[in-house]
A and B are shown apart, each in its own frame.
Chain A
Amino acid sequence: MNATAGTVFVVDDEPSVRKSLGRLLEAAGFHVELFASAAEFLQRGVRDEIGCLLLDIQMPDLNGLELQGALEQVGRPLPIIFITGHGDIPTSVRAMKAGASDFLTKPVSDTDLLEAISRALRKARAESVGRAASREATRRLAMLTPREHEVLLHVLAGEMNKQIAGALGASEKTIKVHRGRVMHKMGVRSVAELVRLCERAGIHLA
Chain B
Amino acid sequence: MLALFSGDRLLPSNVQFDESLRLALDSIRVENVSEFLDEARFPSGHDTRMRELARAKLEGRPVDVVVAFGPPSVHFCVENQSELFPGVPIVFAGVESVGARPDPSARITGVLSGFDAAATLRLALKLHPRTRQVYVVTDPLAAGAPEPLGAAGVRVPLHGLAASSPQQLGHALASIPENSLVIDLSSIGRGAGSTTSPRAELKRLSEASRSPIYGAFDPLVDYGYVGTVSVPLDEVGRAAAAMVRQVVSLEPGAPLPAVKVLEASPLLDWRQLKRWGVRSSRVPAGSVLRYKPPSFWRQHLLLVITTGALILLQSGLIIALVLQDRRRRRAEHEGRQRREELAHMTRIATMGELTASLAHEINQPLAAILSNAQAALRLLARDGASSEEIREILSDIAADDQRAGEVIRRMRSLLRKGEASPVAVDVNELVDDVASLVRGEMILQNISLALELAPDLPYVYGDRVQLQQVLLNLIVNALDAMKDAPGESRSVVIRTSAPASRSVEISVKDAGAGVPADRIGQIFEPFVTTKSQGLGLGLSICRSIIQAHGGRIGCTNNADRGCTFRFTLPAHEGAKA
Answer whether A and B are interacting partners: yes
In the complex, per-residue mask of B368-379: 1 if CB is within 8 Å of any chain A CB, else 0: 111110111011
Contact across chains for B372 and A27 when beta carbons are under 8 A apart: no
Contacts of A21 in B (CB 8 A): 371
Which of these binds chain A: B205-213, B358-366, B537-545? Answer: B358-366
| CA of A40 to CA of B376, assembled, Å | 28
Let me know if B393 is at the binding interface, CB within 8 A. yes
Which residue on B lies nearest to A111, using beta carbons?
B374
Contact across chains for B371 and A60 when beta carbons are under 8 A apart: no
Contacts of A16 in B (CB 8 A): 364-365, 368, 396, 399-400, 403
- Which among B369, B378, B382, B399 is the interface contact of A110 at CB below 8 angstroms? B378
| CA of A26 to CA of B376, assembled, Å | 11
Min Cβ gap A23→B in Å is 4
| CA of A20 to CA of B448, assembled, Å | 25
Contact across chains for B443 and A58 when beta carbons are under 8 A apart: yes
| CA of A83 to CA of B369, assembled, Å | 15
Min Cβ gap A181→B in Å is 56
Let me know if A86 is at the binding interface, CB within 8 A. yes
| CA of A95 to CA of B466, assembled, Å | 41
- Which among A19, A58, A108 is the interface contact of B370 at CB below 8 angstroms? A108
Contacts of A24 in B (CB 8 A): 371-372, 374-375, 378
Which residue on B lies nearest to A21, using beta carbons?
B371
- Which among B363, B379, B400 is the interface contact of A85 at CB below 8 angstroms? B363
Is chain B's binding surface mostly helix, strand, loop or mixed? helix
Let me know if B444 is at the binding interface, CB within 8 A. yes
Given contacts A16-B364, A109-B370, contact A58 B378 (CB under 8 A): no
Min Cβ gap A22→B in Å is 9
Contacts of A26 in B (CB 8 A): 375
Contacts of B375 in A (CB 8 A): 20, 23-24, 26-27, 110
Interface residues on A, range: 20 to 34
Contacts of B363 in A (CB 8 A): 85-86, 106-107
Contact across chains for B360 and A60 when beta carbons are under 8 A apart: no
Which residue on A lies nearest to B355, using beta carbons?
A86
Min Cβ gap A14→B in Å is 5
| CA of A14 to CA of B367, assembled, Å | 11
| CA of A17 to CA of B443, assembled, Å | 16
Given contacts A60-B448, A85-B363, A108-B367, contact A20 B372 (CB under 8 A): yes
Min Cβ gap A55→B in Å is 14
Let me know if B522 is at the binding interface, CB within 8 A. no
Min Cβ gap B534→A in Å is 23
| CA of A14 to CA of B369, assembled, Å | 13
Contacts of B248 in A (CB 8 A): none
Contact across chains for B364 and A14 when beta carbons are under 8 A apart: yes
| CA of A23 to CA of B446, assembled, Å | 28
Let me know if B345 is at the binding interface, CB within 8 A. no
Min Cβ gap B399→A in Å is 7
Let me know if A134 is at the binding interface, CB within 8 A. no
Of B356, B359, B374, B376, most buried by chain A (CB within 10 Å of CB) is: B374
Which residue on B lies nearest to A14, using beta carbons?
B364
Within A63-121, which residues are at the interface with B (CB < 8 Å)? 63, 83, 85-86, 106-110
Contact across chains for B443 and A60 when beta carbons are under 8 A apart: yes
Of A28, A86, A107, most buried by chain B (CB within 10 Å of CB) is: A107
Within A1-46, which residues are at the interface with B (CB < 8 Å)? 14, 16-17, 19-21, 23-24, 26-28
| CA of A16 to CA of B367, assembled, Å | 9
Contacts of B372 in A (CB 8 A): 20, 23-24
| CA of A63 to CA of B443, assembled, Å | 9
Contact across chains for B371 and A17 when beta carbons are under 8 A apart: yes
A24-B371, A85-B364 are known; give 11 further A-B pairs, CB within 8 A: A14-B364, A16-B396, A21-B371, A27-B378, A60-B446, A86-B359, A86-B360, A107-B370, A108-B370, A109-B374, A110-B378
Interface set of B (CB-CB < 8 Å, partner A)? 356, 359-360, 363-372, 374-376, 378-379, 382, 393, 396, 399-400, 403, 440, 442-444, 446, 448
A selection of 8 A-B contacts at a CB cut-off of 8 Å is: A17-B364, A19-B368, A24-B374, A86-B356, A106-B366, A108-B370, A108-B371, A109-B374
For the complex of A and B, list the 5 residue pairs with the smallest distance between their C-beta atoms, beginning with the closest.
A20-B371, A27-B378, A107-B367, A23-B375, A24-B375
